[in-house]
Chains A and B, each alone.
Chain A
């Protein structure tokens, strides 16, 4: 597609519920990133994929968070047993560059998760 597509746009989850957030990057983009953005803050890094390989997951806040990109294209971020502190906007970004340093990223519109 022309841009990075994320779904759903909004998600309300009851505390303890599992959620799955989808990211469809720009076709051909090697690198894919997930970020979490709390209100009034900048995006915080969660995890990074180069094709299907998850090269860095150091930003995932707990073992309730899991991400995959099995075929090197679409990625899913799963949050198990959601807690109120998980409420945030989850942003996906992709980049043509095979590393993280050279170019800026293209972000999707994000998924706004609210845990009640």
Chain B
């Protein structure tokens, strides 16, 4: 089992739709969680950190469920510009720090 797993998609949604991605992680000692966005042939860019209490940034909401070991990203009112790959990132401190990226979930928002 991979340490960080994501549904690769693609998710094809119309503009204005709400879409949600989940990401599961295997190490219960994981400490920090992030969502990154990566456009085609571009570098990953930090979208948001994920806090235990959940957090919201405009149309984006991230949540963490430690008991079930998953994080989620909800995008409301999807825009064409949201089309990208969304990478789940988990940092664990076991011995030394270890940061693992998921393989990403592809989102296509269509007009």
- Residues of A at the B interface (CB closer than 8 Å) are 33, 35, 40-45, 55-56, 91, 99-110
| Given A40-B103, A42-B87, A104-B49: A56 touches B43 (CB 8 Å cut-off) | no
Q: What residues of chain A lie closer than 8 Å to B97, measured between beta carbons? A: 56, 99-101
Query: Can you list 11 A-B contacts with CB-CB less than 8 angstroms, sorted by A residue number?
Result: A42-B101, A42-B104, A56-B96, A100-B91, A100-B98, A100-B99, A101-B32, A101-B97, A106-B46, A107-B44, A109-B42
Q: Which DSSP category, helix, strand, loop or mixed, fits chain B's interface?
A: strand
Closest 8 CB pairs of A and B: A42-B101, A104-B46, A100-B97, A107-B43, A42-B103, A101-B91, A101-B32, A43-B101
Whether B12 sits at the interface, judged by CB under 8 Å, is no
Q: What residues of chain B lie closer than 8 Å to A104, measured between beta carbons? A: 34, 36, 46, 49, 89
Q: What residues of chain B lie closer than 8 Å to A56, measured between beta carbons? A: 96-97
* Contact residues of B between 1 and 47, Cβ < 8 Å to A: 4, 31-32, 34, 36, 42-46
**In the bound complex, CA of A101 to CA of B96 (Å):** 10
Q: What residues of chain A lie closer than 8 Å to B103, measured between beta carbons? A: 40-42
Count chain B CB atoms within 10 A of each CB in A33, A35, A42, A101 and give the residue with the most: A42
